[in-house]
């Protein structure tokens, strides 16, 4: 059966983006978060982003109004009971995700698929904490979801072909390109991207270059649209650290050791854009390097 109703768990940056693209593609969407204020903020964010798309001519006002009409928010897990697919998009913490799945599984209908937007954690291990490992799959969207074209699909050891085929069709219906990754720590994109960011932080830590010099070097020297330290702030330094720790623990190779400076920034609560300070200070009109 085709998927018609999609649940999204987590009203953060990724959850907002997933809800945005699903509703525009014609799916009825239920956004769940335990905190009502986050749900209100999420709806405001999605509305603002769709308004920008209207302004740039990418969608019409009618498209926006219809899509927003397909989104409902709920602080109750029970309201996901009639969803065909639920995509978990909570913080990159395995204990948090397992707790969510233990609460989710009893309310889902038997045929429902569970997808996780984890960017690094084992799909097989997460699936084992549910009552339906055969219907569990990694559906890893890139940030920002409405802009980025890729979805990484990751099968666990138990994921059935039907689950994969339905998930692939779902991603393609959102006008995303699918890349299939094996279930290894951090999959493909982040296994390549995060060590590059970590190395940029080591380059700063060892005094090879300043924040500004490192970002300028990679933007102009490698033609990256965003410098690696600016990108780290955009991703969230806590998320960067979590992914590097998964790589380091899972592959036991010292090349994945998180840079001590990254650890220090996270300990300070300087997590990047979302806290207004990271490798740049965002509290003024123009971001200023913090080192």
Q: Is 206 one of the annotated active-site residues of the chain?
A: no
Beta carbons of 16 and 42 less than 8 angstroms apart: yes
CB atoms within 10 A of CB 284: 8
Please pick, among 152, 167, 198, 242, the residue that the annotation labels catalytic. Answer: 152
d(CA 273, CA 120): 21
What one-character-per-residue DSSP string does 183-203 give?
SSTTTTHHHHHHHHHHHHHHH
d(CA 168, CA 85): 12
Please pick, among 117, 119, 167, 198, the residue that the annotation labels catalytic. Answer: 119
Beta bridge partners of 288: 281
Residue 253, both tokens: 């190779």
Which residues are CB-neighbours of 212 under 8 A, at least 6 positions away?
Answer: 289
Nearest CA among 71, 76, 27 for reference residue 49: 71
Nearest CA among 108, 91, 94 for reference residue 30: 108
Strand ranges inside the chain, DSSP E: 5-9, 28-32, 71-74, 85-88, 113-116, 136-141, 150-155, 177-181, 280-281, 288-289
Residue for token pair 């994109």: 189
Q: Is 119 one of the annotated active-site residues of the chain?
A: yes
Q: Interior CA angle at 222 toward 150 and 53, to 5°?
A: 40
Beta bridge partners of 150: 177
Please pick, among 19, 122, 140, 167, the residue that the annotation labels catalytic. Answer: 140
Q: Is 190 one of the annotated active-site residues of the chain?
A: yes
> What radius of gyration do the chain's Cα atoms show?
19
Beta bridge partners of 140: 152
Active-site residue list: 119, 140, 152, 190
């Amino acid at each position: 059966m085709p998927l018609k109703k999609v649940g999204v768990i987590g009203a953060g940056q990724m959850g907002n983006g997933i809800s945005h693209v699903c509703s525009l593609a014609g799916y009825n969407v239920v956004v769940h978060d335990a905190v009502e204020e986050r749900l209100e903020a999420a709806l405001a964010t999605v509305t603002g982003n769709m308004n920008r798309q209207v302004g740039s001519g990418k969608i019409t006002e009618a498209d926006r109004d219809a899509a927003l009409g397909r989104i409902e928010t709920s602080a109750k897990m029970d309201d996901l009971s009639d969803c065909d697919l639920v995509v978990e998009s909570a913080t990159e913490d395995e204990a948090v995700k397992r707790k969510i799945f233990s609460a989710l599984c009893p309310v889902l209908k038997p045929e429902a698929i569970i997808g996780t937007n984890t960017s690094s954690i084992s799909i097989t291990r997460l699936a084992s904490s549910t009552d339906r490992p055969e219907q569990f799959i990694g559906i890893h969207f890139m940030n920002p979801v409405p802009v980025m074209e890729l979805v990484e699909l990751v099968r666990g050891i138990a994921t059935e072909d039907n689950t994969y085929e339905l998930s692939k069709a779902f991603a393609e219906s959102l006008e995303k390109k699918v890349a299939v990754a094996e279930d290894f720590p951090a999959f493909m994109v982040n296994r390549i991207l995060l060590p590059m960011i970590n190395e940029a932080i080591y380059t700063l830590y060892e005094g090879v270059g300043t924040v500004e010099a490192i970002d300028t070097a990679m933007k102009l020297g490698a033609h990256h649209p965003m410098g690696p330290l600016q990108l780290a702030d955009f991703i969230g330094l806590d998320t960067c650290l979590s992914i590097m720790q998964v790589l380091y623990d899972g592959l036991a190779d010292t090349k994945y050791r998180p840079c001590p400076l990254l650890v220090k920034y996270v300990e300070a609560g300087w997590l990047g854009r979302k806290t207004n300070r990271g490798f740049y200070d965002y509290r003024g009109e123009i971001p200023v390097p913090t080192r």
